[in-house]
């Protein structure tokens, strides 16, 4: 039995001010670093054999902070753009609460949560799934099948896409799924690469999704 630990990066500079970050690179805030360390404390009971993160700095900083907290300075670590956050296209950098007023609640929720709702010059969740899941199947799943424990740090929508695959969530139901800041998903996998159990751990967080 192996474990996959999935963690969302914590608060970035643009998360703090409510801007849609998407593929823009923004550093963690001081609060984000503090909470990343707390998330590390929450998984001290699980040995880590390998770690993955996106190519974006907020994800890399979160992973680095967690590994430092755990004292795992030599853990094999891989970064890939396949695990990057969703591209919000023309909405990137805009204040999401102002966009709520401009778009209306229904459209705003569709943009943020629906499976295949278009964003001008950006990606849908379906598009994110098309890059995250093949990468997971090629690089992460084989390690799990070997019995290794893997830590994966990514972004809200990239993780939602991964959850959809691992948990067999329907296109309709994925709109109700969120990955909270401070949230930690711990999946058990068997040697055939099938998820057998899910555990949720949560660090207290004041960041609004």
Question: What residues are annotated to the active site?
Answer: 9, 85
Distance CA 42, CA 200 (A): 11
Based on its alpha-carbon atoms, the radius of gyration of the chain, rounded to whole angstroms, reads: 16
- Reference 75, options 153, 141, 158, 185; nearest CA is 153
Strand arrangement, sheet containing 150-154: 77-79, 50-53, 150-154, 2-8, 183-189, 195-202
Query: Which CA distances in Å does 137 have to 83, 107, 173?
Result: 12, 32, 22
The CA-based dihedral angle spanning residues 118, 123, 125, 128, taken in that order and rounded to the nearest 10 degrees: 160
User: For 169, how many CA atoms within 13 A lie in the half-sphere containing its CB?
Assistant: 20
Burial (0-12, 13-18, 19+ Cβ within 10 Å), 98? exposed
């Amino acid at each position: 039995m192996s474990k996959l630990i999935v963690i969302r990066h914590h608060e970035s500079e643009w998360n703090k001010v409510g801007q849609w970050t998407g593929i823009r690179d923004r550093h963690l805030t001081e609060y984000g670093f503090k909470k990343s360390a707390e998330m590390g404390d929450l998984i001290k009971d699980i040995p880590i054999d390998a770690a993955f993160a996106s190519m974006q700095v907020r994800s890399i900083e979160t992973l680095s902070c967690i590994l430092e907290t755990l004292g795992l300075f030599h853990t094999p670590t891989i970064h890939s753009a396949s695990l990057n956050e969703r591209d919000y296209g023309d909405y990137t950098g805009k204040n999401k609460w102002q966009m709520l007023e401009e778009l209306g609640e229904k459209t705003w929720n569709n943009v943020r949560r629906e499976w295949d709702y278009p964003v001008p010059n950006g990606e849908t969740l379906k598009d994110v799934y098309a890059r995250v899941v093949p990468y997971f199947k090629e690089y992460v799943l084989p390690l799990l099948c070997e019995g290794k424990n893997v830590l994966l740090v990514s972004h809200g929508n990239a993780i939602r896409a991964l959850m959809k695959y691992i948990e067999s969530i329907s296109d309709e139901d994925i709109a109700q799924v969120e990955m909270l800041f401070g949230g930690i998903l711990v999946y058990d996998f068997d040697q055939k690469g099938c998820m057998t159990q899910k555990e949720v751990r949560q660090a207290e967080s004041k960041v609004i999704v």
